[in-house]
A and B are shown apart, each in its own frame.
Chain A
Amino acid sequence: MTVPETIASAVPGAGSRTGTVAPAEVLRPHAEHAFADELKALAAADDRPRPVRWQLSPWAVATYLLGGTLPDGTVITPKYVGPRRIVEVAVTTLATDRALLLLGVPGTAKTWVSEHLAAAVSGDSTLLVQGTAGTPEEAVRYGWNYARLLAHGPSREALVPSPVMRAMSEGLTARVEELTRIPADVQDTLITILSEKTLPVPELGQEVQAVRGFNLIATANDRDRGVNDLSSALRRRFNTVVLPLPATPEAEVDIVSRRVDQIGRSLDLPAVPEGVEEIRRVVTVFRELRDGVTTDGRTKLKSPSGTLSTAEAISVVTGGLALAAHFGDGVLRPGDVAAGVLGAVVRDPAADRVVWQEYLETVVRERDGWKDFYRACREVSA
């Protein structure tokens, strides 16, 4: 649900941070620019003690994320809608100088929270390492400007610092996205940084020591397959906060319909009027299987191996819409989403299929108004 970082953040040098492009013109301004007014008002109203190099006190950071009204009447919009506890623990973790690991399935606003935390704490959310299977060690430590290296030999000038290194030397908050996608050996270079708070540069016989205010926020997906699990040595250096999925079905239906609407418009799919009922159904199925219990709380269920995240629900509904628009009568029907639901639920052909069949036979079949959906699922499952 998060938009990838804009190119601006990848531009080397300090220029990108200070924002030479007018915020209004960029496609997606950074949090510290988009909400500059709120941050300013908070800083003005904030009389609580601030940790060294923090732009705001921990209390004000929490208020920035959770929203509220300041004494001078400024309204702070909520950036994160979820349990207050989560944000408080996250902010406090940063204040106690521990690294913060935000865990959650796709679509739980991990990146969003990490960006806003960095913006509120350090006034800068751009010190970002995007984790991929190909993230090299240089992205976490430092690289070299080879022209300069060849011309002048190893020197501080020839060294290209990583965002983490810059954050250390300037006492800012660094961010690592998708930490578990990074190969294990590259992950482990963070251990020294987090425990010794120093980054040696043996080529120069020097080191960069973190100054106070430096900290690191990492995000990771805890239920995806094909990730590199964190070593326990690294894990120990993080406080972990799990971002939950939407608490109520209504909230989730709302998120799904809004996103589906956006995607549908960008794909030029015709608007589907009767879709809300199917969306509610998909969300209900996903929630029930995910939580292992029916919404009325009366029957327990087995959970399949897939994550069944909100993001997947969105793609199932979008797929169903495309089916309905191009091959159906333009109305989203149970048959349009059944195959998508089946594909999302049954990831492991043996175990998940039993889970799904049980769910169909013990829950769906008896439910009022779900007859069509049951039949459609039976058809695609057979």
Chain B
Amino acid sequence: MAPGASVRGGGTDHHVGDVTSAPDGGADESVRAVTSVPVDGADESVRPVTSVPGGGTDHHVGDVTSAPVGGTAGPVGSGSRAGRARAEGPLLLGVRHHGPGSARAVRAALDDRRPAAVLIEGPPEADGLVELAADQAMRPPVALLAHAVDDPGRSAFWPFAAFSPEWVAIRWALAHGAAVRFIDLPAAHTLAATDPTWGDGDEELHPELRIDPVAELADAAGYDDPERWWEDVIELRGATASADPTAPFAALAEAMGSLRETHGHGGHARDLVREAHMRLRLRAARKEFGDDDVAVVCGAWHVPALARKTTATADRALLKGLPKVKTGMTWVPWTHRRLARRSGYGAGIDAPGWYEHLFAVLDRPVERWMTKVAGLLRAEDRLVSPAHVIESVRLAETLAAMRGRPLAGLGETTDAVRAVMCDGSDVPLDLVRDRLVVGDILGEVPADAPAVPLQRDLDRLQRGLRLKPEAVEREVGLDLRKENDAARSRLLHRLRLLSVGWGEPVAGRGSTGTFRESWRLRWEPELHVRVAEAGVWGTTVASAATARAESRALEATSLADVTSLAEQCLLAGLGEALPVVMTALADRAALDTDVGHLAQALPALARSLRYGDVRATDTAALAEVAAGLAERIRVGLPPACTGLDADAAVDMRGHLDAVHTALALLPDNAGLTDRWARALRGLAGRDSVPGVIRGRAARLLLDEGRLDEDEAARLMGLALSPATPPADAAAWIEGFVGGASGGGMLLVHDERLLALVDAWLTGVTGEAFIDVLPLLRRTFSAYETGVRRTLGELVARGPSAATARPQAGTPGFAVHLDEERADAVLPVLRMLLGVDDLVGAGT
């Protein structure tokens, strides 16, 4: 099986080996020897493309006689003919990886033949770990994980589900006391190649060269969809399809054999090397266990290559000089979702849940599946009766008959579920797809599985950053302008994302600067367990944290969650996770109808932008999302501000302030702030908007100079006119001058405003006064003592004083400058500043 990324297009392997029967003489061989591995096109040009019929057999014999040159070649060709699994000789079981039908057939064939050794397409480094597969605590889906010891980021996965033929074979062998050997190319070589998902890289470079064996066979059978062909011909065959459990494998091997004769290695030159290794391992196993006591489970595509007669020398020559790295290997838990994921580590199967169902049920798979679906939909409060189940089954089966399929497959059952149980709607169907077709199943591995590479990566980082894990609690201050400290901060933030609580951020001593961070560090023993758990996310701290952040972004339900996640990503320097997080953020923002949520999200974003600046991360995407968010808030705000009760209005006023402040932090915001100001102007003048918001909007505009003082006075006059209910007017005052935003000074400066307040307050009736008193008290008590006193003085002086001095200067100061008194300060200033010629500089 291909490591890591894999194997769609029918699940059978795309990896292609050499195809011709019996390489002809020395010419080919010598070319191989000089071509550096991996072998590529050069090989093809020399190789005799079509095998010679008739003469071929003789040639084989000649080949075999030359085998002893290799020394250990053993009885390679004895009796077995190309592409056949026969009653004598090794049992070659060609499968589709993760095919439940293949798995069932493999089990039947193994039960029939009872071999003493089972060889499996997988990295030989895992031979020592195979016993763990029998452990009680081991529950598929799991994966074999290989990683380069010095560079844990370089890793490869071999996932196994309960319905994987390889897994079935492993379990069978362990239960029957048979030996298990992995025969694929060692991971040490695989990981040493530049691309860890070895063998898939050239697919992308030369897609036209690559052939999909299953697609070819399906095409020959008149199917347009190779998946469906495989399902019909292999997976959906009942267990009773054939009396001889090995017959299907023989037929398939024959088909693959003829395919490989026509298509050569079809784009996967590297498979030649893998197959050479498989042959060598097979030879060794045959020597050890005897010819008839060995079974091989591998991708159907490799079967002809394994049955082929070559010399051990030739195989060895292919393997010579492969690069190598030190490799660690372990089992890690896997999930169905990851089996389904195409890219990255997924096994590339679309419907692991469906496959598992096919594998697990004894009979009537469609009926049982429909019952399962009905159960799920009922749990979600949809009305699904047994009659629905009956009709779904009938529809699925009739559909299959009409489409000419032997049994209803996933496509038919899905169509039937949609038409009968879901009223034609895709919404409940998505649920079925997510929960059943893919499924939530999470694998488990025993605790004594070797340490995950993540731990190694962490050790390495801890050494490199000189940040030792200590059980004693200590506090460290980090200066983010220093490279090492910044890296430490990123590490700690990443670990936090991975729920490895080694460090907790604490409020720094008196420092509010964005370039300092304080952490409280304490390494508890159970954090090792946490690291092991986090191992499912990746092999390095960075990749694991990225994967975790992306997954959390997709799961997050509220906008605020995603925003804070974005903030954490920036702090942790996880630039690669940002696109996913940003998309999630933009999506949530677009669909969230509550302006309050949007308004809560914006400040964190704006803050993130500022942090991003400090840490020199690229925040262009973030800025774009923030601008979009701000635009949505602006559009949604006016309707959201009507019909609010007092508490909701106060909340909204808080949002208003927060958004207004955040907007100022956004880059290139000129157009946006203009439109925002227009929206505020609209709010300030709309009667249906609560007073506190109107007042606040007017004040924000006034502070920015977008509202002149006359207009502000007019608005205040309107708000405080007798027609306005006193409570509303008081709320307006609270909005306009309340809070710690310097509202008191405003009143002190502009006596016209103060006079308006004064006139209104003296005008309200006694009862109303008592009603509004608490609100006013709250407003004015927030002012500083000095401001309160000045206000009191001004009010005590009365309106006459205000009219007597039309130019509102600062109270306590004369209109004109008293130069004599100013000069008197100069000597002291000189002393303080240590300069001699201050005259003329200060006024």
Interface positions of A (Cβ within 8 A of B): 58-59, 62, 85, 88-89, 91-93, 95-96, 98, 101, 103, 232, 235-236, 239-242, 292, 298-302, 350-351, 353-354, 357-358, 361-362
Q: Residue B424 contacts which of A95, A240, A298 (CB distance < 8 angstroms)?
A: A240
Judge whether A88 and B399 touch: CB under 8 Å: yes
Contact with A along B615-651 (1 / 0, CB 8 A): 0000000000000100110111001000000000000
Most buried by A among B383, B385, B395: B395
Judge whether B402 and A236 touch: CB under 8 Å: no
Contact with A along B401-432 (1 / 0, CB 8 A): 01100000001000110111011110000000
Q: Residue B590 contacts which of A242, A302, A351, A357 (CB distance < 8 angstroms)?
A: A302
In this complex, the interface size class of chain B, counting residues with CB under 8 Å from chain A, is: 35 or more
Most buried by B among A85, A89, A236: A89
Judge whether B636 and A89 touch: CB under 8 Å: no
Q: How far is the CB of A187 from chain B (nearest CB, A)?
A: 16
Task: Check: B387 CB closer than 8 A to any chain A CB.
Answer: yes
Interface of A is mostly: helix
Residues of B within 8 A of A299 (CB): 586, 590, 628
Residues of B within 8 A of A59 (CB): 402
Which B residues between 362 and 419 are near A, CB-CB below 8 angstroms?
Answer: 383, 385, 387-388, 391, 394-395, 398-399, 402-403, 411, 415-416, 418-419
Query: Which are the 4 A-B pairs with shortest beta-carbon distances?
Result: A240-B424, A242-B424, A300-B590, A357-B635
Contact A236:B403 (CB < 8 A) given known A93-B419, A301-B590: no
In the complex the two chains form, what is the Cα distance from A236 to B382 in whole Å?
Answer: 12
In the complex the two chains form, what is the Cα distance from A182 to B599 in whole Å?
Answer: 46
In the complex the two chains form, what is the Cα distance from A92 to B394 in whole Å?
Answer: 9
Residues of A within 8 A of B587 (CB): 300
Judge whether A92 and B395 touch: CB under 8 Å: yes
Judge whether B423 and A354 touch: CB under 8 Å: no
Residues of A within 8 A of B394 (CB): 96, 98
Task: Check: B243 CB closer than 8 A to any chain A CB.
Answer: no
Residues of A within 8 A of B87 (CB): none
Judge whether A358 and B632 touch: CB under 8 Å: yes
Please name 12 further chain A to chain B contacts, defined as beta carbons within 8 Å, in addition to the given A98-B394, A239-B420, A362-B632, sorted by A numbering. Answer: A58-B398, A85-B415, A88-B399, A88-B403, A89-B395, A96-B394, A96-B398, A98-B420, A103-B423, A103-B424, A240-B420, A353-B639
Residues of A within 8 A of B591 (CB): 292, 300, 302
Residues of B within 8 A of A239 (CB): 391, 395, 419-420
Judge whether A62 and B402 touch: CB under 8 Å: yes
Task: Check: B724 CB closer than 8 A to any chain A CB.
Answer: no
Judge whether B399 and A89 touch: CB under 8 Å: yes
Contact A358:B395 (CB < 8 A) given known A89-B419, A235-B423: no
11 contacts between A and B (CB under 8 A): A89-B419, A92-B395, A95-B402, A96-B391, A96-B395, A103-B423, A239-B419, A242-B425, A354-B636, A357-B635, A362-B628
Contact A236:B388 (CB < 8 A) given known A89-B419, A91-B402, A302-B590: yes
Residues of B within 8 A of A91 (CB): 402
Give how many A-B residue pairs fall within 8 Å (CB-CB): 89
Task: Check: B593 CB closer than 8 A to any chain A CB.
Answer: yes
In the complex the two chains form, what is the Cα distance from A122 to B590 in whole Å?
Answer: 49
Residues of B within 8 A of A93 (CB): 395, 419
Q: How far is the CB of A94 from chain B (nearest CB, A)?
A: 10
In the complex the two chains form, what is the Cα distance from A297 to B66 in whole Å?
Answer: 62
In the complex the two chains form, what is the Cα distance from A95 to B399 in whole Å?
Answer: 9
Judge whether B636 and A358 touch: CB under 8 Å: yes
Residues of B within 8 A of A350 (CB): 639
Judge whether A92 and B590 touch: CB under 8 Å: no
In the complex the two chains form, what is the Cα distance from A232 to B423 in whole Å?
Answer: 11
In the complex the two chains form, what is the Cα distance from A165 to B420 in whole Å?
Answer: 25
**B416, closest chain A residue (CB):** A89
Residues of B within 8 A of A92 (CB): 395, 398-399, 402
Residues of B within 8 A of A95 (CB): 398, 402
Residues of B within 8 A of A302 (CB): 590-591, 593
Q: Residue B631 contacts which of A88, A89, A236, A362 (CB distance < 8 angstroms)?
A: A362
Q: How far is the CB of B767 from chain A (nearest CB, A)?
A: 36
In the complex the two chains form, what is the Cα distance from A240 to B403 in whole Å?
Answer: 19
